[in-house]
């Protein structure tokens, strides 16, 4: 069939702007065809655009043969432009419909569709991710990404209001920063390079120039595990702040979390309703639990974690059940935190690191950093790392002020905001052990 071009046509109204008060007006709407019905004497379809849906009603007695022919050839999700008259109609959604004078078919969807775009027929996550462009037209996934957008926007607004400057650091790097996570090697001309695990070292150096910086960017982790909370490419909101300690940046993080939760609750009430998710804004101050206290609480409930080990996922979940909501775990053993974290003065076995947890899910981690070269070199050696591999970084740590910061996973934050139980639900095109497309 011959498809139409946009030509001179431009949209005059979004579906949500088509209102009963405008009855009699001629409009042009554009969007996707959802439901199509033929009741003999009358044909209907619903047109969906970014503003919602509007009913297009074609009584056989009053529309042209060409319009009827075009409606007959429509398939669900095809893209159309409709020029027509607004008419009031009691039986139509919102009491209003458009009677078409002319229809352009701009693209025709092939049938059968790999998914039901209305979301009435359930589909498994893999099928949905394979047809993600269709999946994202469904109400629930669409609601998740609107919430994610508003979360990121309000986080940005918050950081800007606190005097942070947004920066971009390289994602092609020469060495590791996060000892626990493996690197993805890439070939970089005649050398080997890696995808960045974190903007850590760059953001630290930048405190010496701009004092308060933040970055929203991808982090790459070559972790093999297949879990509902890890991806191989994630987005992190990183901050670094001069003349500050872990406690200072924990307060910044608390304020940011409260702001983001409140803003999402205010701006996304409709999306939260679609997701049937009751969002509770955490109260400040968030509880601060030392690593030792966390271990004690767990042991009381029969979960034993040997001192000096990271909390495994089941222990994190248990702790989430005990404490609930948002809380910090502070004063971690130095040996399990990265080399750049400052050991505690009074007890160097512990360090000034923290994790922000939300109901058993780690949302962020951070701490006070080492800003003096001698201690940094000592700490690298103690961790079994070769200071020579960090030469260019050490050279750039020129008279850097005392500083602290954190990295907050945007994907995990979105899980907390939407109630999603799998990180893949909140990432447009997730990258995991098995998935490299679409």
**Could you list the residues that contact ligand AMO (CB under 6 A)?**
178, 198, 200, 221, 223, 230-231, 234, 236, 238, 362-367, 405-407, 409, 411-412
Whether 223 is a known active-site residue: answer yes
Residue with Cβ nearer ligand AMO (45 or 158): 158
Residue 21 per-residue DSSP state: G
Q: What are phi and psi of 187, to 5 degrees?
A: -90, 130
Catalytic residue among 362, 373, 431, 435: 362
| Residue 336 in tokens | 């399990």
Which of 237, 49, 239, 214 has its CA nearest to residue 148?
Answer: 237
Residue with Cβ nearer ligand AMO (71 or 231): 231
Report, in Å, the least distance between residue 322 CB and ligand AMO: 20
Residue 25 per-residue DSSP state: -
Residue with Cβ nearer ligand AMO (105 or 364): 364
Burial class (CB within 10 angstroms; exposed 0-12, middle 13-18, buried 19+) of 330: buried
Kind and range of the H or E run holding 293? helix 291-300
Whether 21 is a known active-site residue: answer no
Report, in Å, the least distance between residue 110 CB and ligand AMO: 35
Residue with Cβ nearer ligand AMO (31 or 405): 405
Which segments within 200-313 are labelled E, that is strand? 212-220, 233-242, 288-290
Residue with Cβ nearer ligand AMO (109 or 182): 182
Task: Report the C-alpha gap between 266 and 280 in whole angstroms.
Answer: 12
DSSP alpha helices (H): ranges in 116-245? 125-130, 132-135, 139-161, 200-210
Which of 175, 236, 245 has its CA nearest to residue 207?
Answer: 245
Report, in Å, the least distance between residue 356 CB and ligand AMO: 7
Catalytic residue among 229, 369, 393, 424: 229
Report, in Å, the least distance between residue 220 CB and ligand AMO: 9
Q: What are phi and psi of 171, to 5 degrees?
A: -105, -10
Residue with Cβ nearer ligand AMO (62 or 227): 227
Catalytic residue among 128, 150, 230, 342: 230
Burial class (CB within 10 angstroms; exposed 0-12, middle 13-18, buried 19+) of 192: exposed
Whether 230 is a known active-site residue: answer yes
Exposure on the CB side of residue 173, measured as CA atoms within 13 A: 23
Catalytic residue among 17, 102, 223, 233: 223
Report, in Å, the least distance between residue 329 CB and ligand AMO: 11
Whether 259 is a known active-site residue: answer no
**CB distance 408 to 126 below 8 Å:** no
Report, in Å, the least distance between residue 200 CB and ligand AMO: 4
Task: Report the C-alpha gap between 258 and 230 in whole angstroms.
Answer: 24
Catalytic residue among 13, 76, 221, 342: 221
Strands 172-173 and 191-195: antiparallel
Whether 369 is a known active-site residue: answer no
Which residues are catalytically annotated? Answer: 221, 223, 229-230, 362, 365, 412
């Amino acid at each position: 069939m011959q498809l139409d071009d946009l030509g001179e046509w431009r949209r005059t109204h979004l579906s949500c702007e088509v209102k009963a008060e405008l009855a009699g007006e001629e409009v042009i709407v554009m969007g996707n065809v959802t439901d199509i019905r033929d009741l003999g004497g009358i044909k209907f379809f619903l047109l969906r655009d970014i503003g919602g849906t509007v009913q297009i009603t074609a009584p056989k007695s009053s529309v042209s043969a060409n319009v009827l022919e075009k409606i007959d050839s429509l398939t669900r999700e095809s893209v159309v432009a409709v020029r027509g008259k607004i008419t009031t109609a009691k039986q139509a959604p919102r009491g209003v419909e458009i009677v078409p004078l002319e229809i352009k078919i701009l693209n025709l969807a092939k049938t059968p569709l790999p998914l039901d775009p209305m979301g009435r027929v359930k589909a498994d996550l893999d099928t949905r991710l394979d047809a993600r462009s269709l999946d994202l037209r469904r109400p629930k996934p669409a609601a998740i990404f609107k919430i994610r957008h508003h979360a990121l926007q309000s986080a940005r607004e918050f950081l800007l209001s606190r005097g942070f400057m947004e920066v971009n650091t390289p994602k092609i790097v020469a060495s590791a920063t996060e000892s626990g996570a493996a690197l993805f090697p890439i070939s970089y001309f005649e050398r080997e390079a890696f995808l960045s695990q974190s903007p850590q070292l760059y953001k630290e150096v930048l405190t010496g120039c701009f004092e308060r910086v933040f970055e929203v960017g991808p982090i790459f982790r070559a972790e093999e595990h297949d879990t509902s909370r890890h991806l191989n490419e994630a987005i992190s909101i990183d901050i670094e702040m001069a003349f500050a300690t872990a406690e200072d940046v924990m307060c910044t993080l608390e304020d940011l979390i409260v702001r983001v939760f409140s803003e999402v609750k205010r701006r996304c009430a409709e999306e939260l309703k679609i997701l049937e998710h009751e969002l509770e804004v955490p109260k400040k101050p968030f509880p601060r639990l030392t690593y030792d206290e966390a271990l004690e609480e767990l042991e009381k409930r029969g979960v034993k974690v040997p001192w000096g080990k990271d909390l495994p996922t089941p222990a994190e979940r248990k702790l989430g059940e005990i404490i609930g909501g948002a809380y910090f775990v502070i004063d971690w053993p130095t040996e399990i935190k990265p080399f750049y974290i400052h050991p505690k003065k009074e007890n160097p076995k512990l360090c000034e690191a923290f994790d922000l947890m939300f109901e058993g899910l780690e949302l962020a981690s951070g701490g006070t950093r080492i800003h003096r070269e001698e201690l940094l070199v000592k700490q690298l050696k103690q961790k079994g790392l070769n200071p020579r591999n960090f030469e260019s970084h050490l050279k750039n740590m020129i008279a850097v002020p005392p500083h602290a910061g954190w990295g907050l996973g945007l994907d995990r934050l979105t899980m907390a905001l939407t109630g999603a139980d799998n990180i893949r639900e909140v990432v447009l095109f997730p990258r995991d052990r098995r998935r490299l497309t679409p």
